[in-house]
Amino acid sequence: MAGTAQTMQGLGGGRQATAAPSSPYAIELKGISKSFGPVQANRDINIAVPRGTIHGIIGENGAGKSTLMSILYGFYKADAGEIFVGGRPTPIPDSQSAIRAGIGMVFQHFKLVQNFTVLENVILGAEDGPLLKSSLGRARRELEALSQEYELDVHPDALIEDLSVGHQQRVEILKALYRQAEILILDEPTGVLTPEEADHLFRILRGLRDQGKTVILITHKLREIMETTDNVSVMRRGTMVATVKTAETSPEALAELMVGRKVLLEVEKKPATPGRVVLEVEGLTVRTDGVERLKGVSFQIRAGEILGIAGVAGNGQSELLAALGGIASAGGRIAMNGVDLPLKGHHSNGQTRRAAGISHVPEDRQALGLIMDFTAWENVAFGYHNAPEYQKNALLMDNAALRADTEKKMKTFDVRPPIPGLAAKSFSGGNQQKIVVAREIERNPDLLLVGQPTRGVDIGAIEFIHKQIVALRDAGKAVLLVSVELDEIMSLSDRILVMFDGKIMGERDPGATDERELGMMMAGMTEAAKLGKDA
């Protein structure tokens, strides 16, 4: 291992990557301020990140985390303040200077060439000369060494498009390490990962820390902060409100710092009082590209209960939602309020599902739930644009009524800013989700399908959305909740079904199970789970 590290240093060559060990801090920011027009994104930020630690930065969406990191990586120029790298004042006018200063960045949305190999992506922009042969050979040796050292497990010749999201992220980390990064910044790295992939990532990050690298982790997930970081800084509305040792704080305390008020992390709800059967599903199957993704799923949902579907992403939950929501054609039988619904053909679509009393908050709000270029009021009509209250006459839509309705919904659901004419893409993730949830819940459906209701949503909004879902249940409606966040499933559901490989592995009572048991079922181990329960 030591040998590899030395090789890396040797290969560092002409670059001045390693900092003078005089300062105990890898990075210090002093008095950083930045405003965009009237909006002050960062206000007098001071932060010192000790060398060889994992430092978390949390804050709600729009708190200024990403702006701060963009300043650190040279995308924005701060209006005031200084950056010190390894104790030395280091101006960072562009990302090249950031790389030279030993700063590497892993973005939320990867910057990889899909049809290049891992190796080609890693050397892209860091080639030795016009001919690739020598750089490729050198990069291959180094990549293999890095890959082994940090348990990255990426094959240099694999094409990016063939890799899972988790692996692609590791390629981004490799890119940074190959450029001699001493300080690695990760922006919301687990938003796209499964729990296992996230755990693997955190193992990698700890490994990097143990080798003396400094990791800055930007996230809004408290659990990740508590599990992985050494210190944590909290941002709120552009200011740094606190920096504390992770061991000396609690999720509740951090949440309060982030939001500025007490936040309920646990969902408060009364016991369910299930009524009649609302949705009946029998032997539901879905094929995509010739592969059976949903392999005969049967269950029932009653009025006044939340049925949670747990599972690792990609085990048929998306297909289940698509089939129920009329997006994908399916086999089997579904009945809503005792009436069979078509599962294929042109009568099986989102319109007929909505008419049958099914509302759908899709998993991917940006690709499915919203038209990002449309205004908020146009999006409030999305899927319900044929509703009679939005029509002026047989020919024309009533845009004014629609705007008024949107204004009302924005008020009820606390969408910020409450401007109906603003494009959906201009809202933060949490507020986008509130628009979708408002649209679907305010229809007062008999059955609400919800996929990943709080993915990429900040804590304040999570609390709000959870409350709305529970309120709908308490009003005697049925809810089908699909989420990869076990916490969310455990705290919201009245019954839990675990899916694995397109099948239901079993049903559990959230009060009588734990994450460990569900985790094993999610990995396909029913017998083990049963044994564990019996024992």
Candidates 52, 97, 374, 524; binder of another protein (CB under 8 A) is 374
> What residues from 443 to 482 belong to the interface with another protein (CB under 8 A)?
none
Candidates 259, 335, 372, 422; binder of another protein (CB under 8 A) is 372
Site string for another protein, 28-67 (x = CB under 8 A): --------xx------------------------------
Q: How many Å from the N-terminal Cα to the C-terminal Cα in the chain?
A: 42
260 contacts another protein (rule: CB under 8 A): no
Question: Chain centroid to CA 268: how far?
Answer: 24
Candidates 251, 350, 418, 476; binder of another protein (CB under 8 A) is 350
Closest approach, Cβ 468 to another protein, in A, equals 20
- CA-to-CA distance for 525 and 506, rounded, in angstroms? 11
User: How many chain residues are in contact with another protein, going by CB under 8 A?
Assistant: 33
Strands (E), 237-338: 239-245, 277-288, 291-302, 306-310, 331-336
Q: Which is nearer to another protein, 353 or 473 (CB)?
A: 353
Q: Helix or strand or coil: residue 89?
A: strand
Q: Which is nearer to another protein, 339 or 395 (CB)?
A: 395
Site string for another protein, 310-329 (x = CB under 8 A): ---------------xxx--
Select from 486, 480, 522 the least CA-distant residue to 501: 522
Encoded tokens for 175: 């890119």
The angle subtended at Cα 362 by Cα 359 and Cα 363, nearest 5°, is 150
Element (H, E) at 40: strand 39-50
354 contacts another protein (rule: CB under 8 A): yes
368 contacts another protein (rule: CB under 8 A): yes
Identify which range of 182-190, 296-304, 375-383, 456-464 contacts another protein by CB under 8 A: 375-383
Pairing of strands 88-89, 306-310: unpaired
Closest approach, Cβ 275 to another protein, in A, equals 28
Candidates 396, 511, 512, 527; binder of another protein (CB under 8 A) is 396
Question: Chain centroid to CA 349: how far?
Answer: 28
- CA-to-CA distance for 55 and 71, rounded, in angstroms? 17
Candidates 162, 210, 373, 414; binder of another protein (CB under 8 A) is 373
253 contacts another protein (rule: CB under 8 A): no
Select from 118, 207, 119, 208 the least CA-distant residue to 167: 118
Identify which range of 131-139, 330-338, 391-399, 456-464 contacts another protein by CB under 8 A: 391-399
Measured CA to CA in angstroms, residue 524 lies from 307, 343, 488, 503 at distances of: 20, 28, 20, 10
94 contacts another protein (rule: CB under 8 A): no
Q: Which is nearer to another protein, 79 or 127 (CB)?
A: 79
Q: How many CA atoms lie within 13 A of 481 on its CB side?
A: 32
Q: Which is nearer to another protein, 36 or 533 (CB)?
A: 36
Pairing of strands 339-341, 358-361: unpaired
Q: Which is nearer to another protein, 391 or 526 (CB)?
A: 391
222 contacts another protein (rule: CB under 8 A): no
Closest approach, Cβ 371 to another protein, in A, equals 5
- CA-to-CA distance for 152 and 522, rounded, in angstroms? 24
Q: Which is nearer to another protein, 362 or 430 (CB)?
A: 362
- CA-to-CA distance for 289 and 363, rounded, in angstroms? 20
Q: Which is nearer to another protein, 212 or 421 (CB)?
A: 421
Binding site for another protein (CB under 8 A): 36-37, 325-327, 346, 349-354, 360, 362, 367-374, 378, 381-383, 385-386, 391, 395-397, 399
